[in-house]
A = this chain, B = another copy of it.
Amino acid sequence: MTAAPTPPSRFTRVRRLPERGAYDRATIDAILDAAPLCHIGHVIDGRPVVIPTIHWRVGDTLYWHGSSASRMLEATPGAEVCLTATLLDAYVLARSGFNHSVNYRSVMCFGRPRALAEAAEKEAALEHFIEHLFPGRWPSLRPPTAQELKATAVLSMPIDEASAKLRTDGPHDPEADLAWPVWAGLLPVFTMRGAPMPDAHTAPGTEPPQGW
């Protein structure tokens, strides 16, 4: 997956394998929407720092959030970040170690996030967050207080410098290796939803979010 690149104009610093690059917004959006989390890279005092977080997308904008007390979020607005989200789909087993690979979908977005300033803007973004994960849940929740909104930092970043990279094929063994007597093919992996586990204060008969 680390393997390299020949990117569009804006990515001159990051080469990518041309046959694995995809830059159309539909592909990028689908991967961003499917990935349950992302990793955001920051440069802090010259050092790279990569933090996992949950992102969500509304149209052309990515969002993430955290505590207003977080120094990472404080440091982020205005500074460049790289947000990368990756889904592993299968191990690709070939007849040589060299030709082993993985099928995956990954998106990399560069930009300078801004912190949402207005309580109403934050609340709208957080509603999208909850509704993206659990449609219909937001109106059923105890509404946010002014203090909670103040304590929550929400960052936004336009999706305008982004690329996708993916692999979806079986193994690519050279002809000479095809008779090697070992199992080759795809070993799929995927994310499953487990049975909901209500807490002790959830009234019997209360329904978990749809789809769980």
Task: Please give, as numbers and ranges, the residues of chain B lying within 8 Å of A27 by CB-CB distance.
Answer: none
* A48-B185 CB under 8 A given contacts A43-B43, A53-B2: no
Q: How far is the CA of A80 from the CA of B192 in the complex (A)?
A: 35
The smallest beta-carbon distance between A164 and chain B, in angstroms, is 12
Which partner residue on chain B sits nearest A2 by CB separation? B66
A81 at the interface (CB under 8 A from B): yes
Indicate with 1 or 0, residue by residue over A120-133, a CB within 8 angstroms of chain B CB atoms.
00000011011001
Task: Please give, as numbers and ranges, the residues of chain B lying within 8 Å of A184 by CB-CB distance.
Answer: 198-199, 201-202
Assess whether A67 is in contact with B4, with CB atoms less than 8 Å apart. Answer: yes
Task: Please give, as numbers and ranges, the residues of chain B lying within 8 Å of A97 by CB-CB distance.
Answer: 126-127, 129-130, 138, 141, 144, 148
The smallest beta-carbon distance between A125 and chain B, in angstroms, is 11
A156 at the interface (CB under 8 A from B): no
Q: How far is the CA of A39 from the CA of B81 in the complex (A)?
A: 14
A83 at the interface (CB under 8 A from B): yes
Q: Which of B70, B142, B198, B208 contacts A15 (CB 8 A)?
A: B70
Seed contacts A14-B72, A39-B84; 7 additional CB < 8 Å A-B pairs: A13-B45, A15-B72, A48-B82, A54-B102, A97-B148, A142-B182, A190-B191
